[in-house]
Structure 1
Amino acid sequence: MSVNLQRPILVGGVGLSVSLWLLQSFHDSVGQVGEFGMLGAVALGAGLWLFGKKTSKNLDLSLTAAPVDRETVEKAIAKAQTLIKLLETESENHASLPQLRQRLTQLTPELDRQKIQIAVTGGRSVGKTKLVQVLESSWLHQQPQALSLKETPALFVGTDTDVAAETIAREMAFSSDLLLFVTAGDLTDTEFQILQQLKAANQRVMLVFNKQDQYLPTERASVLQQLRQRMAGRLAAEDVVAIASHPSPLKVRQHQADASVQEWMEEQTPDLTVLTERLSSIIAQEERQLVWATTIREAAALKAEVKAALNQVRRDRALPIIEQYQWIAAAAAFANPVPALDLLATAAISAQVVSDLGAIYQQKFSLQQAQAAAKTLGSLMLKLGLVELSTQAIGSILKGNAFTYVAGGAVQGVSAAYLTRLAGLSLIEYFQEQEVSETTGQAFNLERLGQKLQAVFQQNQRTSFLQGFVKQVVGRLIPEAPQPQPTGSETAATAV
């Protein structure tokens, strides 16, 4: 799939930069006005970022799993299908397409699946196996619905050899219609985090406090109350139950008429009544919703996998565009070594990057929106200190070569290329998370964009990378110049 990329912002922005540079050659005051106007715009953008910043939203983990209807699931399947068609359009021979299409065809029949899949999970030695055995023997086959019951491998194993088994356990847990999460006492932080993840995925969960027989009666009530309080707002109180799937034998002592005493160990009957009654109620009342919730999770997982493949295809097309603009930015800044005007040229090129990358990722932006987005990127870079840090690091590397360091706008040229690259890579990371935009006018999430910008900067600030990047840019700007050599401290940093 080809995207027709036009560049009105690039032509206008670079042209304006050169025009102002020529005017400055005749009258310094023009340059001063231009610098004030540009810095004022950037400061305004930084102010908007600070005052418009919102607290990051936490995952909505409130109460029980949100009810799901058939129409909602069908829409989720349709979204996955739309993404697969996009992948077919943009990369018709993509290796994953056959497998993705097959998974898509399996989703619609799942809507009418009759068998309810129940999974039992938890850490080691919490009584999962015995619980499954007792449920199978005394409850499962008495239910009017078709049910399957399976035990997952243990969670929280903590050893490399069992990592694969734990991965399987998590997959089984997330793919079940109803999950029994078993613990043998109060929740650990790790158990609580897993329960949060399950709730975030809209998984129907019951928390089962097993082995209550190992506690004194007052302790049992206390542990159960603690569990319900810990899960308040995430699980209904009736979905947190206490059982004893395999009670310890009870010592019985009998005094005989002749004053002798007989003692023996008496096996105890499993105590699952509260659990089985709640299970039967959930399955009777929520049978279809359980199946649909699982199907929508599968549709979401398929959509995420397709999106990842599509993002890689688009990234492969976007990187050459970013490289093209970083060389243009370097040449413009090198030929016009005035900091305020360099910032203007770089901002103009960044606006074109917004427009071109938006076209690849199907994010629609008008000319004005692309320009505003470029100013926002510049504001974020200044606010986060990336411009100053980058320029200092690049200047330090260039000092190793007097020829390039005194060659006019070498620092500005390399910095412009580097900042344009950061802007482009940040936009890629940001756009990869977005849905396809059908209309123009979609606003940037400034907080999220700032997070992406910081992450990309951290990934691209290694001394070894910067040295290689500076060498590459200088080689393009001044082909005959000797290449900068790293100083002793930089060599040591690279070795580290």
Structure 2
Amino acid sequence: MANSLWSDFLSMTTPLAQAETVFQHCWDHWQPLAKRPDLQPELKALSALRRRLRARLFSIAVFGLVNRGKSAVVNALVGEARLEVGPLNGVTQKPQSLLWRPGPGIPWQVRLIDTPGLNEVNGEAREQLAWEVARAADLILFVIAGDLTQLEYQALLELRTLHKPLLLVLNKCDLYSEAELQAIREQISRHLGWVSPQEILTVSACPKPQKVRTHWPDGRVTLDWERPAPQIAALQSQIVEILRTEAESLLALNGLKRLERLQTQLWQKQWQYHARHLEQWGTACALGKGVAVGLAPLGLDLLLAPLLDSLWVLGLGMRLRLPWGSLRRALEDLGRPLLLNGMLLLLAEGLGTWLGGSWGNSLLGGVVAGASLYRLGSLTPPLLSRWVSEGFGLGAVLRDLVGSKELAAKV
């Protein structure tokens, strides 16, 4: 029934509305722990993600090696020379962002983020910043200026693992003839295998100056250097199409995937914070279960054992503040270990009765019952961690978004 209601909710609301609902539930859930110092980084990141969703802020990272014209591409898109460009490597020392208005009919705020080049000399820290921007972005523009280098090829393979839409932008196309451009596109397509030559967008963000002859009324003829207008229309129209058709789903998907990572980090910190208490509590519960099962009448002990195991898991989840969705899926996965515990208990009681009568039945059954709960303690944390994304409906919304054919084709 609950799954049916959740499916109805997914079908009646937009991806952003679904994401905002999940974020709100998650925010409300963790607020009682807002003063914990160890959780501050994750809770601050959660707050920033909520604000970004509410602001409808779509982030585009411009990524690539040095001297590929990334800053020039950003300038050409916004229509102004806002970022410094130059012939030297490493002009962009840190990520820089600009708000861009791509045109009427786009309901999103669009932020273009220029990143440092990946192959700067002594630029490891700046390269790490560039990767952080790419991981957080909703769309990635990978800028090249010719055939792929080995480093560019490796970077593209790693970017593909982020499962984000990626546009391959061949800049400085004014330096090549049309035949040369076609050859470069075909060569890149053969190298990559997942992009066709037609999908590689050719632009000239900062064309080289050209000599212009001017004839004056007095008969003078002068030659001046002028820089042609940027050739950026193909890239601009492709971005606008994505903004019109897929921006909402991409915003929601990217936000929820980052929320999933935050949830995992919060779970790990919760486990570390309570580790000593949980170990002591688990030992006490194992002893208590052993005594309770040992003293219980025959037959009742077989019902009491799985009940105590389930209550222990529930108590563990409540102590760690895991949402009900995560606990429910973990309990479903624990069905087989719980059944095995019951079979071992039944076998132990039979063996105890054969060896020592009712006294042997109680003793051996109690020992096995306590040991089985102690063993369950080693199985439960990985299962809870595995299903942490099911909390607040996060897993269901992510599956719904990733399962859509249109979005799957992009990511």
User: Which TM class, normalised by the smaller chain length?
Assistant: 0.5 to 0.7
Match of 1:312 in 2: 269
Structure 2 residue identity aligned to 1:240: I
Match of 2:30 in 1: 87
- Higher Rg: 1
Match of 1:71 in 2: 14
State the distance in 2 between where 1:302 and 1:87 align: 13
Within 5 Å, give how 1:115-130 maps onto structure 2.
Answer: 118-130=60-72
State the distance in 2 between where 1:143 and 1:295 align: 20
State the distance in 2 between where 1:431 and 1:208 align: 39
Match of 1:280 in 2: 237
Contact 1:83 1:303 in 2 (8 A): no
Structure 1 residue identity aligned to 2:114: E
| Pair 1:426–1:219, CA change in 2 (3 A) | same
Match of 1:221 in 2: 182
State the distance in 1 between where 2:373 and 2:334 align: 19
Alignment length (residue pairs): 301
Match of 2:143 in 1: 182
SS at 1:182 equivalent: strand
State the distance in 1 between where 2:119 and 2:337 align: 44
Q: Determine whether 1:106 maps to 2:63.
A: no
State the distance in 1 between where 2:331 and 2:77 align: 64
SS at 2:282 equivalent: helix
1:56-82 per-residue CA deviation (whole Å, 9 max, x = no partner) reads: xxxxxxxxxxxxx98111111110111
SS at 1:121 equivalent: strand
| Pair 1:351–1:189, CA change in 2 (3 A) | farther
Within 5 Å, give how 1:245-284 maps onto structure 2.
Answer: 245=205, 273=231, 275-283=232-240
| Pair 1:105–1:175, CA change in 2 (3 A) | closer
State the distance in 1 between where 2:16 and 2:331 align: 37
SS at 1:124 equivalent: coil
1:240 to 196, 200, 216: 200
Within 5 Å, give how 1:419-434 maps onto structure 2.
Answer: 422-434=378-390
| Pair 1:108–1:327, CA change in 2 (3 A) | closer
| Pair 1:373–1:85, CA change in 2 (3 A) | farther
| Pair 1:305–1:280, CA change in 2 (3 A) | same
Match of 1:191 in 2: 155
State the distance in 2 between where 1:270 and 1:420 align: 71
What is the CA-CA distance between 1:317 and the residue it aligns to?
A: 4.0
Contact 1:76 1:300 in 2 (8 A): no
Contact 1:209 1:241 in 2 (8 A): yes
Structure 2 residue identity aligned to 1:73: L
What is the CA-CA distance between 1:311 and the residue it aligns to?
A: 4.9
Q: Determine whether 1:209 maps to 2:170.
A: yes
| Pair 1:319–1:73, CA change in 2 (3 A) | farther
1:29-62 per-residue CA deviation (whole Å, 9 max, x = no partner) reads: xxxxxxxxxxxxxxxxxxxxxxxxxxxxxxxxxx
State the distance in 2 between where 1:437 and 1:242 align: 42
SS at 2:123 equivalent: helix
Q: Determine whether 1:297 maps to 2:254.
A: yes
What is the CA-CA distance between 1:174 and the residue it aligns to?
A: 4.7
1:113-172 per-residue CA deviation (whole Å, 9 max, x = no partner) reads: 6xx765422112323234444555589999645866442112355x7x634422332343
| Pair 1:104–1:328, CA change in 2 (3 A) | closer
| Pair 1:125–1:87, CA change in 2 (3 A) | same
What is the CA-CA distance between 1:217 and the residue it aligns to?
A: 6.1
Contact 1:131 1:245 in 2 (8 A): yes
Structure 2 residue identity aligned to 1:186: L
Structure 2 residue identity aligned to 1:86: H
Q: Percent identity?
A: 18
Larger relative contact order, structure 1 or 2 (CA cutoff 8 Å, min sep 6): 1
1:262-294 per-residue CA deviation (whole Å, 9 max, x = no partner) reads: xxxx97966964x42341354167347436633
Contact 2:59 2:110 in 1 (8 A): yes
State the distance in 2 between where 1:230 and 1:271 align: 32
Match of 2:114 in 1: 151
| Pair 1:106–1:432, CA change in 2 (3 A) | closer
Structure 2 residue identity aligned to 1:280: S
State the distance in 2 between where 1:290 and 1:271 align: 29
State the distance in 1 between where 2:173 and 2:225 align: 16
SS at 2:128 equivalent: helix
What is the CA-CA distance between 1:191 and the residue it aligns to?
A: 1.9
SS at 1:435 equivalent: helix
| TM-score normalised per structure 1 | 0.46
| Pair 1:351–1:222, CA change in 2 (3 A) | farther
Within 5 Å, give how 1:25-104 maps onto structure 2.
Answer: 71-89=14-32, 91=33, 93-95=35-37, 96=40, 99=44, 102-103=47-48
State the distance in 2 between where 1:152 and 1:173 align: 9
Contact 1:130 1:245 in 2 (8 A): yes
State the distance in 2 between where 1:92 and 1:138 align: 43
Contact 1:121 1:182 in 2 (8 A): yes
| Pair 1:279–1:358, CA change in 2 (3 A) | same
Q: Give structure 2 stretches of 5+ with no counterpart.
A: 1-11, 83-99, 212-223, 291-301, 343-367, 395-411
RMSD after superposition: 5.3
Within 5 Å, give how 1:285-434 maps onto structure 2.
Answer: 286-287=243-244, 289-290=246-247, 293-294=250-251, 296-298=253-255, 300-302=257-259, 304-306=261-263, 308-313=265-270, 316-317=273-274, 320-326=277-283, 354=313, 356-357=315-316, 361=322, 362=324, 363-364=327-328, 370-374=334-338, 422-434=378-390
In terms of mean alpha carbon deviation, does 94-103 or 127-136 score higher?
94-103
Structure 2 residue identity aligned to 1:110: A
| Pair 1:294–1:162, CA change in 2 (3 A) | farther
Q: Give structure 1 stretches of 5+ with no counterpart.
A: 1-68, 252-265, 333-343, 379-411, 439-496
What is the CA-CA distance between 1:182 and the residue it aligns to?
A: 0.6
